[in-house]
Amino acid sequence: MRCPYCGSLESQVKDSRPSDDHSAIRRRRVCPDCGGRFTTFERVQLRELTVVKRSGRRIPFDRDKLQRSVEVALRKRPVDMERIDRMVNGIVRQLESMGEGEVASSTVGELVMDGLKSLDDVAYVRFASVYKNFREARDFEDLIGELTGDETETETDAVAKPPRS
């Protein structure tokens, strides 16, 4: 493992233990050249995944990018990092177990939305607004209506009801 401080290709493992959810091995390392200490994580990868974007472009799947996207949606929300990690691990496992080497970006987005929906409603709306490219307030109203299970009122209902004060 390359040292992040001096670039040396040698490092010594000082401590290894499973992560909290047992999905990775956490290793504390030390560089014999500069004495720098750092942590690495080793995860099981069942297959190499490629994400097919809407434009048709293909890019390698990046777990860290998925993690960052979820964390942005959950910024300043009361959700433990452990729950976030479990959700991201679950999404990655689902993608890997689909049996396909290529996965559509829309599939990844839908899995994230499903995970966020059960984790935090505000984060779900945040992510959906970017993922579905909301352009007006009505888009938010429709999504929140789906989230709460309310039917959106029809034009005739809006006309028949007196205005709120």
pLDDT at 158: 46
Q: Which two tokens stand for residue 156?
A: 């005739």
- Give the per-residue pLDDT at 127: 84
- State residue 32's pLDDT score: 93
Query: Taking a C-beta distance cutoff of 8 angstroms, is the pair 127, 69 a contact?
Result: yes
H/E element, 102: strand 102-104
Measured at the alpha carbon of residue 49, what is the angle toward residues 43 and 52, in degrees to the nearest 5?
145
Label residues 17-40 b or e (16+ Cβ within 10 Å = b).
Answer: eeeeeebbeebebebeeeeeeeee
**CA-to-CA distance for 142 and 63, rounded, in angstroms?**
30
pLDDT digits (tens, 9 = 90+) for 2-15: 889 998 999 999 99
- Residue where the block lists tokens 């690495």: 40
Q: What is the pLDDT of residue 44?
A: 67
**pLDDT under 50 in the chain at which residues?**
151-165
pLDDT digits (tens, 9 = 90+) for 32-66: 999 999 998 887 666 688 898 888 899 999 989 99
User: Domain-by-domain residue ranges, the chain?
Assistant: 9-44, 45-151
